[in-house]
A and B are shown apart, each in its own frame.
Chain A
Amino acid sequence: MATHAPTHAHTDHGHGHHAPPKPLWYWWKRAIVWTISGALAGIALVFFFRWAFGFSNLWEPESYYTAIASLAGIGFVIGIGCFDWWWAYLRGKHVDFEDHSLHGAKTWRDYLRPNTDHKVIGIQYMVAVFTFFVVGGLLAELVRLELAQPGFQIADGETYNGYFSAHATVMIFGFVIPSFAGLANYVLPVMIGAKDMAFPRLNALSFWLLLPAGAMLAIAPFVGAFSAGWTAYPPLAVQGTTGQTLFEVAVQFAGASSIATALNFLVTIMTMRAPGMTVWRMPLLVWANATTSGLVVFGTPFIAGSQFMTLFDRVVGTNFFNAANGGDVIMYQHVFWFYSHPAVYIMMLPGFGIISEVLSTFSRKPIFGYRALAFSTVAIALLGFGVWAHHMFVSGMASWLRIPMMITTIIIAVPTGVKIFSWLGTIWNGKIHLKTPMIWALGFIFTFVIGGLSGVFLGTLTTDIALTDTYFVVAHIHYVFFGGSVFTIFAGTYYWFPKMTGRMYSETLGKWHFWLTFIGFNGTFFPQHWLGAHGMPRRVADYDERFADLNLIISLFSLFMVAGTLVFFYNMIWSWRSGPKAPWNPWRGRSLEWLVSSPPSLFNFDAVPQVVGGPYQYGIPGARHAVVYAGDHLGGGELTETELRTVLVVANRTVASSSLLDQVKARAEEGYWRFTIVVPAKGDDHRAADRRLQVALAVLAEAGIDASGTVEDLGPLEAVKRILEEEPAHEVMLATLPTGQSEWMQQDMIDRVRKASGIAVTRVIVRGDDARTAVRSAAVQRIAVIANDTLGDAGLVSALQARADERPLAAVVLCPLSLDGPGWTDDADKVRDEATGRTRAVIQRLQDSGIQAHGEVIDGDPVAAAKIARSDYKVDTVLVCSYRRDSSEELLGQVRAAAGDTAVEHVVVDAEAPAAPSGA
């Protein structure tokens, strides 16, 4: 039976009853202090023990580096705050079990501290892993640069070995494995109808453990001899120095992160599924992650153990792998591959899940053979533990083990084949939409088939003995990890990008990314099969002359992938900042993550959703996967994107204030609301009220918010009743001036509206100056009016009114005061007073007629005023206003020059006649 955390409605959830959130620098200052303290403690500890036990040489670098790296890494996670809550609990302090003070993100800063929201953690993961992807990619390009020609180009053998070792470890432990954890972190809880992961604080810890691991791996090749490859076989690994130490410690951090995440996924999937989500209704991504998590939990301790043993051999002087003292060199390989072969499936199964989601959605067809796909996932995982020794056919292990391991290995081709064929069955006869995620998924099938087939060559004993340890293996692993895993990561990233960011990416750039990568990938890795077959061993910086041309071509093709990656990052960053807003369900998907807003609300679901059918019911009339309900504060009932709840906004003079509009925008972010604005303007100037309303509507429309409005010749109470007769609303938002200044408050309008309407009333308090100050929005034209004598003229006001009726505007009135003499005389004072009076009067008249206006008297000529209008007020248009008799083309020209690229218009006012604009 599914269980759920208590429901948190938005209205009563806030950070109010928790400790106030701490600023960002607090966490990072602590992290830095703890990291440094950890490093110092490491030095002190090793020094103390070496001294206490009477070692003759107190300095033995690797033991120091081991302690420094371990304790600095642990110090970092403590300092950044991952253990605070547990530590308080442990000490018996009062802790709030429902403490959500670290949950959710309001600004980018909230992404840079520990966060317990699985959605924030998902994005933290994706940003971090794509950073590691860049690091790993640069290392790959260093490898290709060295290999572009035979001989030694940029590195000696040792350094080169460091490049490819770090490339592999950063890509595997820093990119592929955690990127699946990141994607699943974001979408999996939503997919199963949960509010978060089972252990949010553990989830945060998992992410922050990854950072020290990635940092250590990335710097490893540059601090000395990390050159035994990612497989780190002893005794070669035992010969390594600081880089090797960092690798061995980093693997512990990455492994701990991986295990914690896997346990979290397992518990989440087992216990937190929404009612109705039987195992046979789980999306295949959930199946894939459940299976993968099992692999991680069983397998990862083995690689952790293998690296501990190597580390102890090097630092403590044990003899696990020292043959001269009775150690067993081959045992390392058994322990290592017992994890690292299942790790291949850890890096592949979640990708299979992604592909199943994408193919079904963009083919508009149910997935072909759902149960076969689910069972094949489990079969691959189970078989995956019985095949590790196929990496060791030539290792000198017990030779009887080879044939059984060959048989189990090639049997894995059967469930893998079932997947490929089922995917082809899914797209067959479908309605294929070639969006970017779909193109990556289809490209994946092509490349993964090649990788799978070359895998049969390497699984078959006789041919493996011929081909292993050659470039054929390099080609194979890249067809599996890049053409396989990385293609699925890109498919998943594009697929869920709208859900995660609330923005759409650029399809054109996505396709460029695919084709550049696809061409570069095949051009880089396909020829490597030939190199291997013809005798180029892997992991060499120098090679035979006869391979020179092909290696140069390969290096050139790898640049296509660099170009593709640049396009990808440009697309992601640009689209995240300013892509078009994403709807809830851009792909018309069926699973739960598409039935909530993009991005989902703070706790994903306000009420427990009900799952009513399978996740891929395309083409079946009326079939549904799940129903998402609205919380009580939304009035219950089903929640869909198209049936938005209405908030009735009641405001008169305050309707165009930024505090009200910000409040409306904040509510609209939740994704459930549309807004009806009513301006009860009984006894007021209706034209003025309408102008204010138009400003508000324009600002909201510009922000992509569904809003409409009317001006009613009624009091607020009557207006609310009147509107509610026409359409139901779930809430009234009543904007008033502060209590002392508000007529409505004097009439006790909040309570009366609540009683009359029977729905909740939220009051928004707007300061008087806020109601009059122009809103900053691209939808509102900002106009500077430069005028002196004409300010008092009715013609100017009516000209602005006419413009405001065409398009919402806000006015800045600038009165240039050209004093001939000194400014301190009584005459000058009088002139200044008059100008100030005129300016005040016209601002008042504009505000009364519904045009937001403010202004100032400028000590200078119109040219100076134009400069101020442009630089200080950043207006769109400058209106120069003068009587016909005073018009001077020369002055106008100077103003135009001063205004630069801001448009300047000249308004000629004939005394007593309506103003008409002339010139532009």
Chain B
Amino acid sequence: MKNRHLAPLVVLHLVIGAITAAVIFGIDWWPDQAAEQATRSDHLLWFLVITSGIIFTGVTSFLVYSIWRFRAAPGDEEDGPPHHGNTKLEIAWTIGPVVLLAVMAVWSSIATTRNEALASDREVIEVRAWQFAWEFTYRDAGFTTGDLVLPKDRQVELRMRSSDVIHNLWVNEFRVKQDVVPGITTRLIVDPTREGTYDLICAELCGAGHGVMRSRAIVLDQNAFEAWKRDSAAKAAAADAPAAPAPAPGN
């Protein structure tokens, strides 16, 4: 009984598996990583993608095979065999996913705990969001900018407040995002690992200008970062005005 189906099912699994693998590996799914958080997230992501690919291949192969193999011939009014179920199978496909999901849960718990572990030498940057702009304050250096500038290989903690509605600070290359909520201060931890300029986007619907509420996240190496900070602080002191366009004071 089983043997009759085995060979064609294996072939079908190989074919559908190959197509799935082509979609998974042939398409450039994930953009560059620019933070330790991104690396941890992507490791788990790849685990999920490959596991999903395997499950998808299995389900689709059985689905396609059943449709092809068990189609009733025209005029065949017979019923199929009266199989009401199989308790062993039911238990198997309950336990199997539980194990798989336990792995995911533990992995994810560890990854997020590490992603959010605080380093003692972190750079703290204050973020203020309002409809529809960002403002970044480097309190120790005493200046404010419109671009988020971060040091490479040093942890950054963003302390974020909103002046009006909920916003969300998101840099895709960091793979982390966090709502910016009026009334409370939310935190985002990121450990940049790669120099470059990335899009910083508001990811929470915040009104008419939501789509254009964008800024830049610039990762500099530590020397350049310190130099930039000194430079901006000096300029700010000279101009006695913030480097970024002055925000309307929030309520």
- Judging by beta carbons under 8 Å apart, are A410 and B165 in contact? no
The 10 closest A-B pairs by CB, nearest first: A323-B183, A540-B211, A535-B172, A619-B82, A619-B79, A365-B80, A369-B85, A469-B203, A157-B208, A466-B175
**Residue in A236, A402, A433 whose CB lies within 8 Å of B166:** A236
**Residue in B55, B85, B94, B168 whose CB lies within 8 Å of A368:** B85
Instruction: Tell me, in angstroms, the Cα distance from A330 to B179 when the chains sit together.
Output: 10
Q: Given A406-B108, A463-B48: A365 and B85 within 8 A (CB)?
A: no
- Judging by beta carbons under 8 Å apart, are A466 and B41 in contact? yes
Asked if A431 is at the interface (CB within 8 A of a chain B CB), the reply is yes
Asked if B60 is at the interface (CB within 8 A of a chain A CB), the reply is yes
A to B contact number (C-beta, < 8 Å): 264
Give every chain A residue within 8 A of B25 (Cβ-Cβ): none
Binary interface profile of B, 160-200, with partner A (CB < 8 Å = 1, else 0)? Answer: 00001110101010011111111110100000000000010
- Judging by beta carbons under 8 Å apart, are A468 and B62 in contact? no
Give every chain A residue within 8 A of B108 (Cβ-Cβ): 406, 460-463
Chain B residues 136-156 with CB under 8 Å of chain A are none
**Residue in B27, B56, B176, B181 whose CB lies within 8 Å of A395:** B181
Instruction: Tell me, in angstroms, the Cα distance from A429 to B209 when the chains sit together.
Output: 56
- Judging by beta carbons under 8 Å apart, are A456 and B52 in contact? yes
- Judging by beta carbons under 8 Å apart, are B179 and A395 in contact? yes
- Judging by beta carbons under 8 Å apart, are B27 and A414 in contact? no
Instruction: Tell me, in angstroms, the Cα distance from A206 to B246 when the chains sit together.
Output: 54
- Judging by beta carbons under 8 Å apart, are B104 and A429 in contact? no
Instruction: Tell me, in angstroms, the Cα distance from A243 to B70 when the chains sit together.
Output: 52
Q: Given A414-B97, A424-B59, A466-B175: A366 and B211 within 8 A (CB)?
A: no
Binary interface profile of A, 211-236, with partner B (CB < 8 Å = 1, else 0)? Answer: 00000000000000001110001111
Q: Given A365-B81, A445-B59: A421 and B93 within 8 A (CB)?
A: yes
Instruction: Tell me, in angstroms, the Cα distance from A421 to B79 when the chains sit together.
Output: 21
Instruction: Tell me, in angstroms, the Cα distance from A538 to B202 when the chains sit together.
Output: 10
Q: Given A161-B208, A431-B70, A535-B201: A370 and B85 within 8 A (CB)?
A: yes
Give every chain B residue within 8 A of A368 (Cβ-Cβ): 83-86
Give every chain A residue within 8 A of B29 (Cβ-Cβ): 530, 533
Asked if B109 is at the interface (CB within 8 A of a chain A CB), the reply is yes
Give every chain B residue within 8 A of A158 (Cβ-Cβ): 207-208
Query: Which interface residue of A367, A372, A541 has the most chain B CB atoms within 10 A?
Result: A372
Instruction: Tell me, in angstroms, the Cα distance from A470 to B203 when the chains sit together.
Output: 7
Give every chain B residue within 8 A of A450 (Cβ-Cβ): 56
Give every chain B residue within 8 A of A372 (Cβ-Cβ): 85, 90
Give every chain A residue within 8 A of B166 (Cβ-Cβ): 233, 235-236, 329, 395
Band of interface residues on A: 35 or more
Instruction: Tell me, in angstroms, the Cα distance from A329 to B181 when the chains sit together.
Output: 7
**Residue in B94, B175, B181 whose CB lies within 8 Å of A465:** B175
- Judging by beta carbons under 8 Å apart, are A469 and B66 in contact? no
Binary interface profile of A, 397-412, with partner B (CB < 8 Å = 1, else 0)? Answer: 0010011001100110
- Judging by beta carbons under 8 Å apart, are B182 and A235 in contact? yes
- Judging by beta carbons under 8 Å apart, are B104 and A460 in contact? yes
**Residue in B90, B97, B112 whose CB lies within 8 Å of A369:** B90
Give every chain B residue within 8 A of A538 (Cβ-Cβ): 203, 205
Asked if A430 is at the interface (CB within 8 A of a chain B CB), the reply is yes
- Judging by beta carbons under 8 Å apart, are A424 and B44 in contact? no
**Residue in A363, A449, A537 whose CB lies within 8 Å of B70:** A363
Closest residue of A by beta carbon distance from B74: A433
- Judging by beta carbons under 8 Å apart, are B72 and A432 in contact? yes
Binary interface profile of A, 158-181, with partner B (CB < 8 Å = 1, else 0)? Answer: 101100000000000000000000
Give every chain B residue within 8 A of A324 (Cβ-Cβ): 182-183, 251
Instruction: Tell me, in angstroms, the Cα distance from A539 to B176 when the chains sit together.
Output: 19
Q: Given A329-B182, A463-B44: A418 and B93 within 8 A (CB)?
A: yes
Residues of A bordering B, CB below 8 Å:
156-158, 160-161, 227-229, 233-236, 239, 323-324, 327-330, 363-372, 394-396, 399, 402-403, 406-407, 410-411, 413-414, 417-418, 420-422, 424-425, 427-434, 442, 445-446, 449-450, 453-454, 456-457, 460-463, 465-466, 468-470, 530, 533-535, 537-544, 588, 617-620, 623
Give every chain A residue within 8 A of B31 (Cβ-Cβ): 533-535
Instruction: Tell me, in angstroms, the Cα distance from A740 to B61 when the chains sit together.
Output: 78
Asked if B111 is at the interface (CB within 8 A of a chain A CB), the reply is yes
Give every chain B residue within 8 A of A330 (Cβ-Cβ): 181, 184
- Judging by beta carbons under 8 Å apart, are B84 and A366 in contact? yes
- Judging by beta carbons under 8 Å apart, are B182 and A403 in contact? no
**Residue in B67, B72, B164 whose CB lies within 8 Å of A442:** B67
Task: List 22 A–B pairs whose Cβ atoms lie within 8 Å, in order of A's numbering.
Answer: A156-B208, A157-B207, A157-B208, A157-B210, A157-B211, A233-B205, A324-B182, A324-B183, A410-B105, A418-B90, A425-B89, A427-B70, A429-B70, A431-B72, A431-B80, A434-B67, A434-B71, A442-B67, A466-B41, A534-B172, A535-B199, A535-B201
- Judging by beta carbons under 8 Å apart, are B165 and A236 in contact? yes
Give every chain A residue within 8 A of B221 (Cβ-Cβ): none
Instruction: Tell me, in angstroms, the Cα distance from A365 to B44 when the chains sit together.
Output: 40
- Judging by beta carbons under 8 Å apart, are B48 and A460 in contact? yes
A321 smallest CB distance to B (angstroms):
9
Q: Given A157-B209, A372-B85, A456-B104: A449 and B60 within 8 A (CB)?
A: yes
- Judging by beta carbons under 8 Å apart, are A462 and B81 in contact? no
- Judging by beta carbons under 8 Å apart, are B251 and A618 in contact? no
Closest residue of B by beta carbon distance from A427: B66
Binary interface profile of B, 199-235, with partner A (CB < 8 Å = 1, else 0)? Answer: 1011111111111100000000000000000000000
Give every chain B residue within 8 A of A396 (Cβ-Cβ): 178-181, 184, 186
Binary interface profile of B, 42-57, with partner A (CB < 8 Å = 1, else 0)? Answer: 0011001000100110
Closest residue of B by beta carbon distance from A229: B205
- Judging by beta carbons under 8 Å apart, are A329 and B183 in contact? yes
**Known interface pairs A428-B62, A460-B48, A542-B212; 12 further A-B residue pairs with C-beta atoms within 8 A, sorted by A's residue number:** A161-B208, A229-B205, A235-B165, A396-B178, A425-B83, A429-B80, A432-B72, A433-B72, A462-B108, A535-B172, A537-B203, A539-B210
B199 smallest CB distance to A (angstroms):
6
B100 smallest CB distance to A (angstroms):
9
- Judging by beta carbons under 8 Å apart, are B63 and A469 in contact? no
Closest residue of A by beta carbon distance from B109: A403
- Judging by beta carbons under 8 Å apart, are A410 and B67 in contact? no
Query: Which interface residue of B29, B30, B105, B107 has the most chain A CB atoms within 10 A?
Result: B105
Give every chain A residue within 8 A of B181 (Cβ-Cβ): 323, 329-330, 395-396
Closest residue of B by beta carbon distance from A457: B48
- Judging by beta carbons under 8 Å apart, are A462 and B115 in contact? yes
Query: Which interface residue of B86, B94, B186, B208 has the most chain A CB atoms within 10 A?
Result: B208
**Residue in B59, B67, B170 whose CB lies within 8 Å of A432:** B67
Query: Which interface residue of B66, B199, B202 has the most chain A CB atoms within 10 A?
Result: B66
Give every chain B residue within 8 A of A456 (Cβ-Cβ): 48, 52, 101, 104
Instruction: Tell me, in angstroms, the Cα distance from A530 to B27 when the chains sit together.
Output: 9
Asked if B121 is at the interface (CB within 8 A of a chain A CB), the reply is no
Instruction: Tell me, in angstroms, the Cα distance from A365 to B205 when the chains sit together.
Output: 48
